[in-house]
Amino acid sequence: MRLTVQVNVHMKSNGGWTIGELAHRFGLATHVLRHWESVGLLAPGRDGGGQRRYGDADLVRVAMILMGKEAGFGLRELRTLLGTDNPMDHPELLRRHVVDLQERIDRATAAKELIEHALACPSRFDECPHAREQVAARIPPP
């Protein structure tokens, strides 16, 4: 199953975008696109002078890489996910990532609750029973 995405773009008459044009379009530095190419995430075409040329498929690919990064995937994981026609070919990697995300959400939620409690607590930090309890829980046993 091949992932097909309809992209509303206007290809330039020269057959694609330069690295600078593509980087600008996504708000990226050109070295980011070169790095993604070096790790196997992008494979732009080349013109007669050897210059990179990016087409519609590259636009989709960059958008998918950015979406994956926003979801917390590393470049190595993205190379695996995007290395086949269907990212869903890697359900175990996706399941592991969901578990990792949930753990991060749980830690962030606990941190948020601690800060909210500190803001609402009428006591000084060192006098607050909740704060003392939290501190004591962080001290490792002998």
Instruction: Give me the chain's average pLDDT, please.
Output: 88
What does the alpha-carbon distance between residue 130 and residue 118 come to, in Å, rounded to a whole number?
9
Enumerate the β-bridge partners of residue 54: 17
Look up residue 68 and give its two tokens.
């994956």
Domain with CATH 1.10.1660.10 in the chain: 1-85
Segment 117-126 shows an average pLDDT of 84
pLDDT for residue 125: 79
**Tens digits of per-residue pLDDT, 22-57?**
999 999 999 999 999 999 999 999 998 999 999 999
pLDDT for residue 17: 95
C-alpha 61: how far from its chain's center?
Answer: 13
Out of 7-11, 38-42, 121-125, which region has the weakest mean confidence (pLDDT)? 7-11
The predicted model scores a pTM of 0.75
Give the residue with greater pLDDT, 100 vs 123.
100
- 1-85: CATH topology: Multidrug-efflux Transporter Regulator; Chain: A; Domain 2 (1.10.1660)
**Tens digits of per-residue pLDDT, 59-105?**
999 999 999 999 999 999 999 999 988 888 999 999 999 999 999 99
Cα four-point dihedral sign 66, 67, 68, 73: positive
Note whether 95 and 66 are within 8 A (CB): no
Note whether 55 and 94 are within 8 A (CB): no
